[in-house]
Structure 1
């Protein structure tokens, strides 16, 4: 069973995810340059969100030795931990950091800290550390996002991600702009000029976002804990809807929620990005959001007609201000169960999976 999530989200002027030159990220799609937000950026913003914080059971760091030793009192602890991690294939690079960022669970770190003070040989400690890093992975964020780790020593470290996330792309042609700005000196003296002058790139774009969650893989990664998996799905959906990337938000405050969300329960993943292979016109008879949703609705209908529809489909727009529709025989027809609040959307989705949202919210990480 797959849970596919599609979003139309219109952001005011912003620079949520920038490239090495500081400009908003872009890509070509349908022969046209589009604004883009990377999937890595989207996943991290959701994983670190307020909605997901109770399920954040792991973290990625190059300072694993420091994190473990901070939980243990005594002299020479950090040096000892560093030595043990090196035997696990996690060599230091410089400044007490490992060569690669290690994605590890909080539980594994706590257990490693306890073992440090036990009367064990370095070989025994290294074996225990390796086992904990490899096996203590049943936490929601790692179950969703997966883990790729190769040390040459620790075996079976890969966690197959239950989540697939597409790069968000603008439904229309990218139009980037330049903000010429100055910093004024509040005590200018004889110099009336600015204290600092610079330029910053930004853009305003309506994005299509797509996520696909493999329910069976998620349950497997969580060691069969279906209620925790249901909590994870609900928290992820809320995080995706209520969280935006943090890039330059202090300068732009582009905290714009989605205008529409399609959630489907199905067996085969289908991206609806091709609804925008022909970009929404920048100056059409409709506003950009309405045009994007109209193209999405018509494309979904075409896919349903050609390949069959999903088992369940829900359409959410705040207070149903937007409709997901398609044209048939010159009449407008709606798609999916119409939902006007995010809370109801989450409750309906979790109910269709077979659980009660109010109940599974109480399920925490072991």
Structure 2
């Protein structure tokens, strides 16, 4: 039986510019024929990934500076220092199909688990002498560089890039176009957050005073403007626990640890854009988790018709109510009898009896783990 864990959040942000486009304006989108505020999925995924309390040995690193990481680890952990250290590392990486550019960085951003980085350092240390062979200054193709690496190094290197049981790699996936064998399909999909209502851009015209200005220097030392908006967002993401466990080499306990941390990090995620200017540290008013069995259900169409505040009502309340109504209608057709909800609601608009009301984030994360554990063990 299929199993999906969905996160549905309603989150109102005060005036802010959390996620900018190429002009510096808050990102937006047209949905249902109306302009909506938007925060990209990439923005939220990075905040969640960096904020999740994953075990240190099960975290990933996204970087082009693998050479620097390996130099540091070989020095600190193995005491390896030599003039040709870079060449040894470069040969070991070539054995795995990775090539360094002239500046010592990899050709593109790599998303590697810490265990994969540890394995590369161990490979260089164990084959220190074999990797000491003189390296030609002649530039080689990636294929030729791999062919010139010691055979035993090549044999071991091909098993290194297996995801390293890194939870963030397993959750959010990775793609290396020229090394498809090390790709990982994401176990977690994240939607762009959109406002439940129509929005208009606003502008803050600001001035700055020169503290050292003389008596004859009147006016501002600097003037400018920044765009911002304020919006109530619907956020959605979904996790396939079976895929997560598969990405983690069938380590189900680690998958459950990751789901617990992911639940907390998803609820606490707040983008960092322009926060020194706006300090929009506004947590969600509603956090709902749905356990689905038939298929995932993104509930964004609950807001295809924009929500409006009436009679002094906050936008969060009708947003939560619309979300509940739409889910009831949609799940009645596409849902499964074994589906379940748990939620934390500060708006008071989620219907009583629709799922299990929980008192805090830790209780919600524990509920997610309990639900998935029971299903994974079936």
Q: Which TM-score band (shorter chain)?
A: 0.7 to 0.9
Give the TM-score normalised by structure 1: 0.87
Q: Deviation digits for residues 88-133 of structure 1, max 9, x if unmatched? A: 4433445322221011111111221122232335334355334312
Query: What is the root-mean-square deviation of aligned Cα atoms in Å?
Result: 2.1
1:209 aligned residue? 235
Rounded Cα–Cα distance in structure 2 between residues aligned with 1:346 and 1:116: 40
Q: Which runs of 5+ in 2 are unaligned?
A: 75-79, 132-148
Which of 131, 135, 159 is residue 131 of structure 1 equivalent to?
Answer: 159
Match for residue 271 of structure 1 among 282, 292, 298: 298
Contact 2:52 2:264 in 1 (8 A): no
Q: Which residue of 2 aligns with 1:82?
A: 90
Could you tell me which runs of 5 or more consecutive residues in structure 1 were left unpaired when the two chains were aligned. 326-332, 356-366
From the superposition, tell whether residues 221 and 63 of structure 1 become closer, same or farther in structure 2 (CA, over 3 Å). Answer: same
SS at match of 1:131: coil
Q: Give the match for residue 107 of structure 1.
A: 115
State whether residues 173 and 185 of structure 2, in contact with CA within 8 Å, keep that contact through their aligned partners in structure 1: yes
Does residue 334 of structure 2 align to residue 307 of structure 1? Answer: yes
Instruction: Select which of 251, 255, 270 maps to 1:225.
Output: 251
Deviations 1:196-254 (A, max 9, x none): 21111111110001111001001111112111111111110100111211111121111
Give the equivalent residue in structure 2 for 1:15: 17
For residues 335 and 202 of structure 2, the distance between their equivalents in structure 1, rounded to whole angstroms, comes to 42
Listed one character per residue, the Cα deviations across residues 166-200 of structure 1 (whole Å, up to 9, x for unaligned) are 11000011222111112221111231222221111
Structure 1 CA distance, aligned partners of 2:254 and 2:57? Answer: 9
Q: Give the C-alpha shift of residue 40 in structure 1.
A: 0.9
**Distance change (3 Å), C-alpha of 1:130 and 1:308:** closer
Q: CA deviation at 1:136?
A: 4.2
- 2: CA distance, partners of 1:194 / 1:110: 54
Residue 120 of structure 1: aligned partner: 130
The partner residue of 2:363 within 317, 329, 344 is 344
What is the correspondence of 1:1-366 to structure 2 with a 5 Å cutoff?
Answer: 1-49=3-51, 51-52=53-54, 54=56, 57-72=59-74, 73-74=80-81, 75-86=83-94, 88-93=96-101, 95-117=103-125, 118=127, 119-121=129-131, 122-124=149-151, 125-133=153-161, 135-151=162-178, 154=179, 156-189=181-214, 190-267=216-293, 268-281=295-308, 286-309=313-336, 311-318=339-346, 321-325=347-351, 334-354=353-373
1:323-351 deviation per Cα after TM superposition (whole angstroms, max 9, x unaligned): 312xxxxxxx6421122322221222222
C-alpha distance in 1, partners of 2:32/2:61? 37
**Which protein has the larger Cα radius of gyration, Structure 1 or Structure 2?**
2
SS at match of 2:306: coil
Distance 2:274 2:58 in 1: 24
Contact 2:165 2:249 in 1 (8 A): yes
Distance 1:338 1:95, change over 3 A: same
Q: Is the 8 A contact 2:44 2:271 kept in 1?
A: yes
Does the Cα contact within 8 Å between 2:19 and 2:26 map onto a contact in 1?
Answer: yes
Structure showing the higher strand proportion among its residues? 1
Count of residues paired in the alignment: 343
- Does the CA-based 8 Å contact 1:55-1:232 persist in structure 2? no
Structure 2-normalised TM-score? 0.85
